[in-house]
Each structure stands twice: as C-alpha cells, then as structure tokens.
Amino acid sequence: MQALPNIFLIGPMGTGKSTIGRLLAAELRRPFHDSDHEIEHRCGCGIPWIFDVEGESGFRVREAEVIDRLTSLEEIVLATGGGAVTSSTSRQYLRERGVVVYLSTTLEQQLRRTARDRNRPLLQGTDRRERLRQLMAEREPLYLSTADLVVSTDRRSPRAVVREIKRRVRRLQNPLEQDA
Ligand SMILES: Nc1ncnc2c1ncn2[C@@H]1O[C@H](COP(=O)(O)OP(=O)(O)OP(=O)(O)O)[C@@H](O)[C@H]1O
Ligand SMILES: O=C(O)C1=C[C@@H](O)[C@@H](O)[C@H](O)C1
Ligand SMILES: [Mg+2]
C-alpha cells in the first residue's frame, strides 16, 4: 500500500484539530505537530501573551513562519491554529505539501468545546457566539478553498473521525482502492 502523504488539519477553534491530530498521528505511528504549541515552544510564552504584547499581527507573523517550517517536514500529521489559513503563503504551503483536511463542526459544538478555555484570546471578553459566527463567515471560504477533504466532527467521537480521515485520504491517494 502506498505511504500516506503529510496530513494537515485546518478548521475553526474547537473543531478538534489538536485532539484528532494527536490520535491520528498515534494510529499512523507518525510524528504529530501542532502549530499553536510550536509557536508557544519557540517563544517560551503563551498565545495570550503574544496577542497582548505583539498584537494579532505579531502572532500571525510567528504562525506563518511555523507553518512554513512544519509543512516542510515529511510523513507528519499537523494540527494548525484556527486562523492559519488567513495567510495566503500558508495556504499555498499547506496545499502544495500535503493533503489538507478541513475539520468542520456546528457553531453550537464550537461554543461547547471552547466554553472553559482561557487560551484563545480572540474569544476573551466578547460575545463568543457572535465572534465565532463572524470568524466563520470570514474564514469558511478559505477553509473550503484550501482543503482537499471536508470531514465533520459533529456528534462523532474523535476515533470515528480518525477512521474517516484515514479512509478518505487513502481513497484520495488511490481512487480505485476498495474500503476494507
Ligand atoms: N469529536 C469530538 N467530540 C467531542 N469533543 C471533542 C471532539 N473533538 C475535540 N473535542 C473537545 O473539544 C475541545 C477543543 O478541541 P481541540 O483543542 O482539539 O480543538 P482545536 O480545533 O485544536 O482548536 P484551536 O483551533 O483553538 O486550536 C477539547 O476539549 C476536546 O476534548
Ligand atoms: O482562530 C484563531 O485565529 C486562533 C485559533 C487558535 O488555534 C490559536 O491559533 C489562536 O488563539 C488564534
Ligand atoms: Mg488546536
């Protein structure tokens, strides 16, 4: 069977990119990377600190550098941050260097899954529902135009989502292959 290419997960906050990415990488026995964690690791500080001190634009510069570096690796699973697709260069690298999977979910699930979070500055001190809706309106065209596959994570366990990603990436690689 052909080796699977890089798999890059994109999608909005709370859709499960980090959770599903880690599980998918473990099942495929591949290195897992998370651009948000890599940004924090390189900086030695948290995402809220970067937003406070450098603003969102400073964070985006760091994020684009990290996406370039991580997408240059091979045979990895990468979970990106929710806003990674706002950079046209990052979109290009994601598309050229692997299979891009857009993990989608409903606004209600996003609200539930980000409810207790303090690490997502764009959702602090604001009407989260309205903010998530607005971000989605701006970014959904970017998710859709960057993705090779769209996979829903709504009302499904992370394991079920991982199974579907594996099956559909294999099918994309070899359209004639039968499902097991
Ligand atoms: N399929 C799922 N079903 C139920 N809960 C889930 C599912 N996937 C993720 N979660 C939960 O939702 C929360 C957010 O998930 P996660 O951090 O993986 O999202 P993310 O897409 O990486 O968000 P961000 O863009 O902010 O990094 C976590 O508490 C996680 O346990
Ligand atoms: O949607 C966004 O813009 C963000 C999502 C998170 O993953 C982090 O990258 C950060 O909080 C910004
Ligand atoms: Mg994440």
The complex's ipTM works out to 0.97
The bridge status of strand 32-34 relative to strand 149-152 is unpaired
Would you kindly state where each structural domain of the chain is located, as residue ranges? Answer: 7-173
Give the percent of the chain with pLDDT over 90. Answer: 90
Would you state the pLDDT for residue 174? 85
Q: Is the pLDDT of residue 2 over 70?
A: no
Q: Which residues are annotated as a binding site for substrate?
A: 36, 60, 82, 139
Residue type at 9?
Answer: L
Helices assigned H by DSSP within the chain: 17-28, 35-43, 47-71, 88-97, 107-113, 128-146, 158-173
In this prediction, residue 179 has a pLDDT band, given cuts at 50, 70 and 90, of: low
Pocket lining for ligand 2, CB < 6 angstroms: 13, 36, 47, 81-83, 120-122
Mean of pLDDT values over 10-19: 96
**Local confidence band at 59 (pLDDT 50, 70, 90 cut-offs):** very high
Torsion, Cα 120 121 127 132, to 10 degrees, reads -50
The domain 7-173: what is its CATH number? 3.40.50.300
Task: Show binding-site residues for ATP.
Answer: 14-19, 120, 156
Task: Show the DSSP H helices in 31-127 as ranges.
Answer: 35-43, 47-71, 88-97, 107-113
Report the pLDDT value the prediction gives residue 180, as an integer from 0 to 100.
52
| CB within 8 Å of 13: residues ≥ 6 apart | 82, 110, 114, 120, 122, 123, 132, 135
Quick one: pLDDT at residue 19?
97
Name the residue of 20, 37, 113, 136 to mutate for ligand 1: max ligand atoms within 8 A of Cβ.
113
Instruction: State the average pLDDT for the chain.
Output: 95
Please tell me the distance from the alpha carbon of residue 109 to that of residue 112, in angstroms, as a whole number.
Answer: 5
- In the predicted model, what is the mean pLDDT of residues 43-67? 97
How far apart CA 151 and CA 103 sit, in angstroms, is 5
* Pick from 79-83, 138-142, 171-175: least confident: 171-175
Q: Which range has the top average pLDDT, 114-118, 133-137, 169-173?
A: 133-137
How far apart are alpha carbons 104 and 112 in whole angstroms?
A: 14
Q: What pLDDT score was predicted for residue 4?
A: 78
Kindly indicate the confidence band of residue 72, based on its pLDDT and cuts at 50, 70 and 90.
very high
- Residues in contact with ligand 1 by the CB-under-6-Å rule are 13-19, 36, 79, 81-82, 113, 120, 153, 156-158, 161
**Which of 45, 19, 12 shows the shortest CA–CA distance to 128?**
12
- Alpha-carbon span 68 to 161, nearest angstrom: 26
What pLDDT digit, counting tens, does each position of 28-42 carry?
999 999 999 999 999
pLDDT of residue 118: 79
